[in-house]
Every structure is written in structure tokens, then in C-alpha cells.
Amino acid sequence: MQPLVWLAPILGEPTTGPRSAYGRNGEHMSVSSKGAKWHQQLHWRIAIAMVLGVIAGLIGGEPLAEAVGWLGTLFIKLLKMIIVPLVLTSIVTGVSSVGASAGLGRLFGKTLGYYMLTSLLACVVGLLMVNLIQPGKGADLVSVQTEEMPDLQTAQSPVDIILDIVPENFFAAAAQTDMLAIIFFAIVLGVTISTLRPRHQEPLQALFDSGFHAMMRLTGGIIHYIAPIGVFALIARLTGTTGFGAFKALGLYAFMLCCGLTLHLLVTMPLVLRVLGGINPIQHFRNMAQPIVMAFSTSSSGATLPVTIDAVENKVGVSNRVTSFVLPMGATINMDGTALYECAGVLFIAQVMGVPLGMEQQLLVVFTALLASIGAAAVPSAGLVVIFIVLQAVNLTGPQVELIVGAMLAVDRPLDMYRTVINVFSDSCGAAIIAKSEGETGIDEVA
């Protein structure tokens, strides 16, 4: 083995492999590995690590979960370490090159329009499933062990969501990984840089552009060397501590949600890709294999963001101009899986309590679920925390509701893993569709 060969992707040895769609100099490292045998490809290695993690967790139980858990934590910490500088440099680079032109306004409009459309479709699927399967009718949740709610800071009302977007202090927002505030600041800074004279504009653009390349190369190194072991540890810890026991009591509820999420992933999104973008969904799934397994094992669209950006640029073939705008914003506010879950979850609670919700109230649920999914942080369990915003809107409050939400939390992790996959996948579809509509070519074409 050559000395330090494992550091090559980090230190900057030229990488071979798929085309880079990166607009300027295309030099950041891709974590993709086309051309290699299947077992050498990173997404397969991660998938195998996941299966081994399940087996190890079931056999080793709590002691193994404790022994390997720190490796999972280390992996998530490494991914989180990159998020703030990556999002800041990515957005400032993208926006300052587009400028405060009609181009930026158009991109913004398309992005928001796409987010609203797919989240709404997800809500409709959620409502359909819960009304069809009716998992809450006659369900006895009193005997199910309830769990403590995680202490996540989330907005309390729709107005709070809007006010939270503007940071009082950018550094405080960055220290708390307050994504909406960071995105807002980055967009405003990018637009401002685009209005400067070349003497001031160019060095700043070069600084952020180089910073972005450095963050992408760092991402590549972490994913390449740490991801399989990190994923193994995360999954082993999960199955070692919870097993599959909790699933029995809330089986029908979990089944209903899985059906809804699957319908959205395998029917709605492929249709949207075909109709709006003329894109081959199977090829898009193939190109997104890595972010999908990463979203599944981390339960966090935020932590998956670096991998999503890498795959959408280097495999799907979208330019940095579009990804830098669509993906960080998408990871934060476009959460189809979460929106579907909010709608279905609230109607499930109403069914358990024997409170029928009419058409008007169901529409209110859809509206607030949309806002709640926008306000939900891109971290594990955020969806379950913001469900209280939606419950409040239809007056479902009190100790019994809290008890049911606690029981739902007992089975939330695997559902959270699945809805995070949907959240990430919808973002990548959006980037591909918007890139095509902006006249980019070669999107999701077989390399």
C-alpha cells in the first residue's frame, strides 16, 4: 500500500470517476465510485454495514449497543461539523454568481413552488392512508410504554416560524445550527456581494468558492472512510436498545405510515419527476443511492446534506448554481415525509380519542402540517415534536394526547428513518427538475 494513500481524497490527489457537474473548476472530490465492482461501491458497503448492524444489535443487545454506540455518535458529529460552513459557502457562492437578478427571483419562485406542491401531495397521501386504513379506531394505547419527548427548540406558531428566519446575531445562529437563519443570512450576503465592484466582489467570491471546495473535499473523506463503520454502529445501537418489541403495540399505525411513505416515494415522486422534469425515475433512484442509505441511517436530512449535495452534483449532474440554492433550503424547509407524517399522525390521534375530524378540520390539519414541516428541524425526531403545532390547531390537547404522542415516540425512530429518506429524495428531485427547467442538460443520464 502506498504511504498515505488513504488520505488522497482529503489531501488532493486527482480523482478519477464520474463527471463533475461543478460549474467553475469541478475539482472537489466525489464520493461516488462508478465502474467499481458492486461490493466495492460505497452505497453497497453502507447497505451491508446496515444489515450487519441489525444482526449485531439483535445478537449483542444493550452491551453491544453501549460498546459501539460512540462510533455512531462520532460519525454524526463529523457530518454536523461540516454543515454550517458548507451551507454558508455553498449558498453565498451560488447566490453571488446569480446575483440579485431576475435569475435569482425565478430560481426562488420555482424552488418554493416545487416545495409546496410536493409537500401538499404528501399531505394528501397521508390523509388518504389514515382515512382508508383507520389505524386508530379502537386502538388501546394505555398499556404501551411512553417515552420522554426530546428537548428540541421548535417554533410555537406560524408567526414564530417567520420571525425565526431573521437572526439577531449570525454567529449565535451558526453556533446553534439554526438553518433557516443561516440560509437567510447567506442569501442576503450573496446578493450583497453580487452588487459590489469587481475589486471587492472577486476576492470575496473566490474566498467562498474555495471554502466550498474545501468543505466538499472534507465531506468526501468522511463519507468514504467513516460512513460504513458509522452506519454499522448507529444501526447496531438502535436495534440493540429497542429491538422490534415496540412495533407490536402500534403495528397498524406504523404499517399505515409505511404504506403512505412508500406510495409517495414510489408513485408520487416518480410521477412528479417524469411529468415536471421528463426525468427517468429509476436512474434518479440509482444516482441517489448513497444519500438514501445515509438519510435512513442518520435520521437527519441536515446530517445527510453534504452527501446529498455531492450526489446531486456529481451523479445526477446538476450545476452548483442550482444545488447551492435548492438543496440547503430543501433540507431545512422541504420535508414531504414529515408533512405526510404530521397529517396522518394527527388524524391517528383523533381516531384513538374517538374525535371525528370533518373535512374543514382536515384541511386545517393539511395547512398547519405544511407549516410544521417547514418549521421542523432537519434532525432526528423533529417531526414528532412539531406535531403539537398541528394538534393545537384542531384543539387536540391535554394529558391523553400527550400519552398517545409518548406511545408514538416509542416506535418513532424507524418511521423517522423512513420519512427522512422521503425528505431527502424530494429535495434531490426538486434540484433535478429545476435544473432541467433552467436549461441544464445531462441530468440523470446514464454515465
How far apart (Å, rounded) are the C-alpha atoms in residues 98 and 100? Answer: 7
Contact between 419 and ligand ASP (CB under 6 A)?
A: yes
Using CB under 6 A, which residues numbered 245 to 304 contact ligand ASP? 299-301
Q: What x-and-dash track marks residues 3-42 binding ligand ASP by CB under 6 A?
A: ----------------------------------------
Which one among 260, 277, 383, 414 touches ligand ASP, defined by CB under 6 A? 383
Helix residue ranges per DSSP H, 156-298:
158-164, 170-175, 179-194, 198-242, 246-249, 251-263, 269-272, 281-287, 289-298
284/329 Cα distance (integer angstroms):
20
Element holding 80 (H helix, E strand): helix 42-98
Helix (H, G, I), strand (E, B) or coil at 338: helix
Establish if 135 lies at the interface with ligand ASP (CB under 6 A).
no
Non-local (6+) Cβ contacts of 288 within 8 A are 311, 312, 315, 316, 424, 425, 428
Given the rule CB under 6 A, which of 22-30, 140-148, 224-232, 373-381 is the region that contacts ligand ASP?
373-381
Which CB atom, from 95 or from 389, has the smaller least distance to ligand ASP? 389
Q: Which residues contact 335 (CB under 8 A, 6 or more apart)?
A: 119, 301, 373, 374, 376, 378, 383, 419, 423, 426
What does 117-152 look like in DSSP terms, one character per residue?
HHHHHHHHHHHHHHHHH-TTTT---TTSPP-PPP--
Nearest distance in Å: CB 310, ligand ASP: 18
Angstrom distance (rounded) from CA 296 to CA 252: 21
C-alpha cell at 157: 406558531
Closer residue to ligand ASP (CB): 95 or 335: 335
For the CA atoms of 49, 53, 59, 65, the dihedral, rounded to the nearest 10 degrees, stands at 140
Report the residue number, 177 or 437, with the smaller CB distance to ligand ASP: 177
Q: Rank residues 219 and 381 by Cβ distance to ligand ASP and give the closer one.
A: 381
Task: Tell me how far, at minimum, the Cβ of 415 lies from ligand ASP, in Å.
Answer: 9
Among positions 95, 229, 307, 378, the unique one binding ligand ASP when judged by CB under 6 A: 378
Nearer to ligand ASP, 351 or 420 (CB): 420
Residues 294-353 that bind ligand ASP (CB under 6 A): 299-301, 335, 338
User: Using an 8 Å Cβ cutoff, are 432 and 444 in contact?
Assistant: yes
Distance in Å, CB of 383 to ligand ASP, minimum? 3
Polymer length in residues for the chain? 447
Residue from 78, 133, 349, 376 binding ligand ASP (CB under 6 A): 376
Considering the rule CB under 6 A, would residue 118 count as an interface residue with ligand ASP?
no
Residue number with the smallest Cβ distance to ligand ASP? 383
Q: Give every CB contact of residue 406 below 8 A, 6+ residues apart in sequence.
A: 146, 147, 148, 149
Single out the residue of 72, 317, 345, 380 in contact with ligand ASP (rule: CB under 6 A).
380
Give the total of residues touching ligand ASP (CB under 6 A): 16
Burial class (CB in 10 A: 0-12, 13-18, 19+), 255: middle
Which region among 52-60, 152-160, 258-266, 377-385 touches ligand ASP (by CB under 6 A)?
377-385
Confirm or reject binding of residue 382 to ligand ASP (CB under 6 A): yes
CB-wise, 246 or 408, nearer to ligand ASP? 408
As given in the structure block, the three cell numbers for residue 285 are 433512484
Residues between 218 and 247 with contacts to ligand ASP, criterion CB under 6 A? none
- With contacts defined by CB under 6 A, name the span among 113-121, 145-153, 259-267, 414-422 that binds ligand ASP: 414-422
381 binds ligand ASP (CB under 6 A): yes
Query: Which of 314, 368, 420, 428 lies at the binding interface for ligand ASP (CB under 6 A)?
Result: 420
427 binds ligand ASP (CB under 6 A): no
The one-letter code for the residue type at 151 is: D
Task: Give yes or no for residue 379 binding ligand ASP (CB under 6 A).
Answer: yes
The one segment of 112-120, 123-131, 191-199, 375-383 that binds ligand ASP by CB under 6 A? 375-383
Strands (E), 111-161: none
* Residue 322 host element (H or E): helix 320-333
Chosen residue from 219, 362, 423, 426 binding ligand ASP by CB under 6 A: 423
State the residues that interact with ligand ASP by CB under 6 A: 299-301, 335, 338, 376, 378-383, 416, 419-420, 423
